[in-house]
Structure formats: C-alpha cells, structure tokens
Amino acid sequence: MDFVGGNSTSRSKKQRCLTNFSAAFSGSSSGSLPLEESNAAEDFHSVEEAYLAWKDEWYGKFEWIIFYQDEGKVYCRFCREAKVRGKFGKEGATSLNVSNFIHHQGTAAHTKAAYALRDEGKGIQRALAASKKVGDIALTILFRLAYFIAKEHLVYTKFSKLCALAKSLEADITFKLYHTEKACLDFIHCISQVVQTRVLERVRASP
C-alpha cells in the first residue's frame, strides 16, 4: 500500500502498542480511546477525486497527517499509534480540506493521543541519556586501567585480569569487546596522543 509522506511509517508496518495508555486515558473497558467527534465535511466518493483534492503543503501544516494515495484517505499518525477509534485513527478520513483537519486536531481524542506519544518519546530520550552515561563511565574506567598498565610497566596480558577485578568490585564495565590486549594498546595509544598534545602546547606557551 503506497502513501505519500516524509516522516510516516509504512502502511504495512504493525502498529505499536503504548504501554498503560488505555489505563491512563480510556474511559471504556475495551481499552480504546473515545470515538472522535463526527464531522459534517463533504466526503469524496472516489480515490481520483481525493487524489486531485490532496495538497502536499498540508504535510508542513499538520505534523500528524498521513495520506494514502491508493485509498484516497487521510489518517492521523498520533491517533493510529494510540489506536483511537474513528475516521482519522482507524477508518481513514475522506474529507480532504483544511477545516476538517483543524477540527480533528482540536478533538479530545487527538489531543490525548498526541500528549501520550510525546511523553513516550521523552521516556525513550531519558533512557538513551542514561545509557550513554553508563557507557561513558565504563569507557572512563577502561582508560584508567590502561593508563595504570602503562604507568606501572605491566604486561598487556594483565589488562583483561584488571577488567575482571574491576567488575568484581561492581564497576560498571559493559564493553566486553574492549577487555582485550589489543584494546589496551589502543587505549594507551589514545592516552599518549593526548599527553603529547598537552606537552607540546605547554612547550609552545613557555617563554
């Protein structure tokens, strides 16, 4: 099924399920959001008429809009992902005009769906930020262990054992790929480059 759009997912792709969304916003036992308000706008009775009425500029005005060219119908990305019952969420709207889109955008069901998806997006961003923080800590520990190897003139084979020791002390080292001798050499090389750069800067800055 073809559709015209930039940031929309494929029609054939399964709809995602929003965890606890129904419990938070649904007023019915079925787990679906309230039915959208009906609109009295004139419907197009053929795919060709809908296609001729469609304007690409609407994508820029309504971030949620999806137009399926082969159906001649418009859907709301927010309402579909939140499984809202109604034309824009499930059936597809055939009333292609700005007033109809504005009407839908102001409905309670659409507003709830939009807020729920944005909250979900913020949760994902927080999870990614936390994951990045853990990764940064792990790399910092690995660099320090490699620096210790170089400073104490230890053999590189000790690096993996030091990593195991750090992990036994509950250090959050998640990158098993970097527990090898080669990784130790790479870390030491990076450290030496930084040290060399700093020394050169001090020499150049000295009178």
Residue type, 203: V
Q: Where are the alpha helices (DSSP H) in 26-107?
A: 47-53, 58-61, 77-81, 98-105
DSSP 177: G
Q: Is the pLDDT of residue 7 over 80?
A: no
pLDDT of residue 130: 57
pLDDT digits (tens, 9 = 90+) for 106-160: 888 888 888 877 766 565 556 555 555 666 777 788 888 888 888 888 888 888 8
Confidence of residue 173 (pLDDT cuts 50, 70, 90): low
Q: Which residues neighbour 13 within 8 Å (Cβ) at sequence distance 6 or greater?
A: none
Whether residue 6 is predicted with pLDDT greater than 80 in this model: the reply is no
Contact between residue 100 and residue 39 where contact means Cβ atoms under 8 Å apart: yes
pLDDT of residue 42: 47
Instruction: List the chain domain ranges.
Output: 21-106, 130-205
* Whole-angstrom distance, CA of residue 163 vs CA of residue 172: 10
Q: Are 18 and 118 in contact (CB under 8 A)?
A: no
Backbone dihedral region for residue 153 (phi beyond 0: left; psi -120 to 50: alpha; all else: beta): left
The alpha helices in the chain, defined as continuous H runs, are: 21-25, 47-53, 58-61, 77-81, 98-105, 108-151, 158-168, 181-205
The DSSP call for residue 17 is P
Rounded to whole angstroms, the Cα distance separating 100 from 98 reads 5
Which pLDDT belongs to residue 35? Answer: 42
> Backbone phi, then psi, for 84, in 5-degree steps?
-80, 135
How far apart are alpha carbons 52 and 19 in whole angstroms? 39
79: which 2 tokens?
């309402």
DSSP states along 120-137 = HHHHHHHHHHHHHHHHHH
Give residues with Cβ within 8 angstroms of 189, minimum separation 6.
none
Average pLDDT, the chain: 70
pLDDT reported for residue 176: 61
Confidence of residue 55 (pLDDT cuts 50, 70, 90): confident
| pLDDT score for 41 | 43
When comparing pLDDT for 132 and 92, which is higher? Answer: 92
> What pLDDT band is residue 22 in, cutting at 50, 70 and 90?
very low
